[in-house]
């Protein structure tokens, strides 16, 4: 949701739809909450702001009515919280234009002080672009205390304008800014700072006489309007122009640095994951004393990359210095994982550092990592490292500045990354996968064959990759009915073969995880498929594999880390349906029927969820 008060008050949904805010006092109430974000406002103070000394007898009940009406239009969960200290508006970072304006203004001023004029101009320009009018809360009558806060913001805007002009002059943009300076001085003829900047821009543009004329005009205006002489700064600029001070020579024009924007395009059909998106947005927009790292892990095809790209686009505005993206190919079929040195070389190039490669054509990892940390220091950057193999591949790629945020996706949990927050992504709920299918192939096609659509969703078992592949097959063959595809998927021995289209295949994704296992772990993985959909205990798995229970527990943990099993209770594990079918394929390929039969005979009666699972499926 977007709350805007830098101009007329306006609230829009996350989809950009404007929200009707109701009567005037209701809008004043919301304005008060927005001007005091993060602060509780006592109801007595609200009554004073809305009615002053002329509060009617019904004022308190009217206030509650306005609060209730605002809660309704702002949706659930309630945005307005009531506590012992009063009422407070609950917002997330980036939702209120005032907060974003003040953040960008502070960043711009800091960059200007540090001599980083290109960064300063970019921040300050973005801050000014948030204003949709000349004043805060235009056309909305405000009580005196709120007018004071509005006036403070308008003064801050004036200082941002001044700072942006200073940055433009430092970047050699004097010729381009003359029209803006002339318009600003016409609007505010008593502003000596603007007059001095206009004089400097004219002088640097080769218009010395015009610059001196501006001074004479300013001197006369000040004398007539307020009866004073020009201040020392304006007088000094006049004297320096008269003396042709060499220090006034214009700097070489600097081309504006374009921030890298490397995020892949998001999926228009992205569905669900509301809770995960909320947690990740909060993490990626929160202030931190160290580099914030968010790691999304989960099984192959569960939608880690789609979620990461989607949330990265949602918070992109918080990272004006750039959004960097690298596919590390940690689990890409047929592609070797990228070496950290090669990734660093690419990241450095993205940030404008075309460092020559070291001996052998490859940068030294430690040296490149140090350069990367230097280049990212103090910059507001988002780094998306997609498809990581392990923590060792990621660790050299991490910036050190608290202004940077890192988003990582990987199959294995990256537990050794210090300070990382871990977000495990499971399969999607059936209603979400049904919605995804409809968005991909068209709601009308799903509506025409609802039972078949539900069957496809059920057989894909909540795996977004499987749903997307099934949809791709239906899109490629408009004449293929959903019932025919559902019947094909219903045959377990053929299901994985049906779930492949173009360069995407569920089997190939699982194979990458399987090949990362050692021989003992892969053997247990294959044997577990003989149990159908049973919940697996350590005792049962130990009997099946003919291994001691402590050793079996370690092997089960390895399978869980590889996202080929999931924990479903204390010492209990479960295998996803499609992974189970893949494991059964591998058992047929790599184990004899006698090996499988012996494994099942070792299992004690009653260990498995159903006696039906005691039969070898071949």
Q: Give residue-wise pLDDT tens across range 38-65.
A: 889 998 898 888 888 788 888 889 899 9
Q: Give residue-wise pLDDT tens across range 570-614.
A: 888 999 999 999 999 999 999 888 888 888 888 755 444 433 333
Among 104, 199, 116, which Cα is nearest to 160's? 104
DSSP element (H, E) containing 609: none
Kindly state the DSSP code that residue 3 receives in the 8-state scheme.
E
Q: Which two tokens stand for residue 83?
A: 């506590």
Do 172-257 and 1-117+124-153 fall under one CATH topology?
A: no
State the pLDDT at residue 257. 66
Contacts of 468 (CB under 8 A, 6+ apart): 436, 440, 504
| pLDDT over 60 at 164, yes or no | yes
CA 377 to chain centre: 20
Q: Domain spans of the chain?
A: 1-117+124-153, 172-257, 274-425, 430-507, 517-614
State the pLDDT at residue 374. 87
Mean pLDDT of the 453-458 span:
94
CA atoms within 13 A on the CB side of 499: 31
Residue 287, burial from CB neighbour count under 10 angstroms (0-12, 13-18, 19+): exposed
Percent of the chain residues topping a pLDDT of 90: 46
Q: Which two tokens stand for residue 171?
A: 């970047």
Q: CATH for 172-257?
A: 1.25.40.10
Confidence of residue 15 (pLDDT cuts 50, 70, 90): low
Mean pLDDT of the 473-496 span:
92
Q: How far apart are CA 582 and CA 579, in angstroms?
A: 5
Judged by DSSP in three states, 538 sits in: helix
Measured at the CA of 118, the angle between CA 115 and CA 119, to 5 degrees, comes to 85
Which of residues 353 and 195 earns the better pLDDT score?
195
Mean pLDDT of the 276-287 span:
86
Q: How far apart are CA 222 and CA 239, in angstroms?
A: 18
Q: Give residue-wise pLDDT tens across range 369-410.
A: 998 998 888 888 999 999 999 999 999 999 988 889 999 999
Among 534, 512, 526, which Cα is nearest to 595's? 526
Among 38, 160, 101, 163, which Cα is nearest to 320's? 101
Phi and psi torsions of 328, nearest 5°: -80, -10
Q: How many helices (H) and strands (E) does the chain have?
A: 27, 14
Q: How far apart are CA 326 and CA 240, in angstroms?
A: 52
In this structure, CATH architecture of domain 1-117+124-153:
Orthogonal Bundle (1.10)
In this structure, CATH architecture of domain 274-425:
3-Layer(aba) Sandwich (3.40)
State the pLDDT at residue 358. 47
**What sign has the CA pseudo-torsion 303, 304, 308, 311?**
positive
> What does 351-362 look like in DSSP terms, one character per residue?
TT--PPP-GGGS
Residue 240, burial from CB neighbour count under 10 angstroms (0-12, 13-18, 19+): middle
Alpha carbon distances (Å) from 431 to 15, 20, 82, 590, 613 = 21, 31, 34, 37, 29
* SS percent in the chain: helix, strand, coil, step 5: 55, 10, 35
Q: Give residue-wise pLDDT tens across range 247-271.
A: 888 877 666 567 899 999 988 889 8
| pLDDT over 80 at 8, yes or no | yes
In this structure, CATH architecture of domain 517-614:
Orthogonal Bundle (1.10)
């Amino acid at each position: 949701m977007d709350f805007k008060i830098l101009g007329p008050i306006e609230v829009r949904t996350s989809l950009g739809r404007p929200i009707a805010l109701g009567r005037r006092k209701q809008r004043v109430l919301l304005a008060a909450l927005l001007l005091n974000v993060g602060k509780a406002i006592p109801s007595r103070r609200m009554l004073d702001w809305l009615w002053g000394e002329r509060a009617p007898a019904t004022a308190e009940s009217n206030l509650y009515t306005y609060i209730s009406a605002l809660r309704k239009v702002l949706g659930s969960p309630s945005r307005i919280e009531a506590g012992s200290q009063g009422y407070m508006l609950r917002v997330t970072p980036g939702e209120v234009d005032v907060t974003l304006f003040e953040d960008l203004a502070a960043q711009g001023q800091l960059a200007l002080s540090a001599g980083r004029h290109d960064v300063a101009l970019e921040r300050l320009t973005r801050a000014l672009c948030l204003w949709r009018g000349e004043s805060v809360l235009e056309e909305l009558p405000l009580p005196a205390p709120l007018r004071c806060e509005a006036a403070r913001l308008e003064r801050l805007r004036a200082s941002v304008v001044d700072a942006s002009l200073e940055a433009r002059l430092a970047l050699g943009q004097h010729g381009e800014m003359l029209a803006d300076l002339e318009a600003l001085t016409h609007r505010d003829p008593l502003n000596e700072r603007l007059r001095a900047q206009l004089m400097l821009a004219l002088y640097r543009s080769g218009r010395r006489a015009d610059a001196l004329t501006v001074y004479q005009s300013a001197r006369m205006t000040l004398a007539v309007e307020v009866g004073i002489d020009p201040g020392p700064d304006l007088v000094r600029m006049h004297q320096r122009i008269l003396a042709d001070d060499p220090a006034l020579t214009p700097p070489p024009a600097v081309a504006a640095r374009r921030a890298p924007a490397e995020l892949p395009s998001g999926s228009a059909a992205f569905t669900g994951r509301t809770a995960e998106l909320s947690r990740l947005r909060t993490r990626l927009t929160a202030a931190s004393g160290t580099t914030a790292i968010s790691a999304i892990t989960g099984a192959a095809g569960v939608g880690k990359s789609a979620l990461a790209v989607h949330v990265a686009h949602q918070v992109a505005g918080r990272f004006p210095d750039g959004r960097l993206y690298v596919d590390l190919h940690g689990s890409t079929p047929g592609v070797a994982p990228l070496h950290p040195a090669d990734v660093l070389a690419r990241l450095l190039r993205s940030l404008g550092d075309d460092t020559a490669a070291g001996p052998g054509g490859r940068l030294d990892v430690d040296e490149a990592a140090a350069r990367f940390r230097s280049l990212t220091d103090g910059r507001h950057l988002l780094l998306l490292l997609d498809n990581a193999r392990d923590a060792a591949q990621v660790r050299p790629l991490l910036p050190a500045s608290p202004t940077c945020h890192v988003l990582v996706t990987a199959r294995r949990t990256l537990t050794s990354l210090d300070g990382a927050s871990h977000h495990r992504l499971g399969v999607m709920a059936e209603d979400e996968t049904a919605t995804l299918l409809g968005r991909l192939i068209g709601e009308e096609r799903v509506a025409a064959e609802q039972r078949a659509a539900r069957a496809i969703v059920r057989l894909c078992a909540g795996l977004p990759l499987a749903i997307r592949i099934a949809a791709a097959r239906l899109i490629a063959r408009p004449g293929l009915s959903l019932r025919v595809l559902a019947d094909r998927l219903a045959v377990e021995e053929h299901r994985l073969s049906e779930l492949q289209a173009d360069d995407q295949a569920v089997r190939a994704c699982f194979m990458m995880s399987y090949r990362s296992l050692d021989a003992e772990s892969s053997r247990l993985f294959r044997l577990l498929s003989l149990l159908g959909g049973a919940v697996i205990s350590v005792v049962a798995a130990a009997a099946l594999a003919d291994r001691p229970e402590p050793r079996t527990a370690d092997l089960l943990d390895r399978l869980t880390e590889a996202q080929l099993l999931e924990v479903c209770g204390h010492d209990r594990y479960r295998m996803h349906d499609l992974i189970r079918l893949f494991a059964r394929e591998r058992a047929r390929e790599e184990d004899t029927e006698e090996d499988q039969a012996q494994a099942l005979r070792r299992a004690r009666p009653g260990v498995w969820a159903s006696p039906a699972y005691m039969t070898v499926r071949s």
